[in-house]
Amino acid sequence: MASRARLAALAAALLLAGCLPAAPISAPPPSTEAAPTPAPAATMTPAPAMSFPEIVIVPATGGVQVVGLARNDSSLPLRDVSLAIDLLDDDGESLGKLVAALLLSSVQPGALSPFRAAVPEGLSPASTRVTLDGYRVGTRVPFIVALESASTAASADGTRLLGLVRNEGPQAIQIRELAVVWRDGGGSLAGAGLAAIPHAPVPSDANLPWTALAPGAVEVGEVDVFAAATALLPNTEVLLEVSVDPAWRRTVQGRGYVTGEIRNVSAIPLLPAVAVTLWAQGELVGLEILRSTVPLPPGEVLAYGAETFPSLDARLERLGVAVQEVVPSVVVSASAAPAFSEPRLEITVLHFEVIGSRVYLEGTLTRGGEQPLAGAEIHAALRSVEGELQSATWLPIAPGSAGAPVPFRLDLPLPAGVNSALSEIDLRAVGLPFSP
Q: How many CB atoms lie within 10 A of CB 80?
A: 13
Range of lowest pLDDT (10-14, 185-189, 345-349): 10-14
Q: What is the mean pLDDT of residues 307-332?
A: 95
Highest average pLDDT, of 26-35, 103-112, 381-390, comes from 103-112
Range of lowest pLDDT (22-31, 49-58, 335-344): 22-31
Selected residue with higher pLDDT from 226 and 218? 226
Among the listed residues 108, 103, 101, the one whose alpha carbon sits nearest the alpha carbon of residue 48:
108
Q: What is the mean pLDDT of residues 177-192?
A: 93
> Which superfamily does 344-433 belong to?
Immunoglobulins (2.60.40.10)
Q: What is the mean pLDDT of residues 180-188?
A: 92
Q: Do domains 50-137 and 344-433 have the same CATH topology?
A: yes
Q: What are the tens digits of pLDDT across the range 354-395?
A: 998 999 999 999 988 777 788 899 999 999 989 999 999 999
The listed CATH number (3.40.50.300, 3.30.565.10, 3.30.70.120, 2.60.40.3230) that belongs to domain 145-231: 2.60.40.3230
Domain ranges of the chain: 50-137, 145-231, 240-334, 344-433
Q: What is the mean pLDDT of residues 86-90?
A: 96
In this structure, what are the phi and psi dihedrals at residue 281, rounded to the nearest 5 degrees?
55, 40
> Which superfamily does 240-334 belong to?
Immunoglobulins (2.60.40.10)
Range of lowest pLDDT (91-100, 322-331, 335-344, 416-425): 335-344
Q: Is the pLDDT of residue 239 over 60?
A: yes
Q: What is the mean pLDDT of residues 203-225?
A: 90
**Is domain 50-137 annotated with CATH 2.60.40?**
yes
Mean pLDDT over the full length of the chain = 87
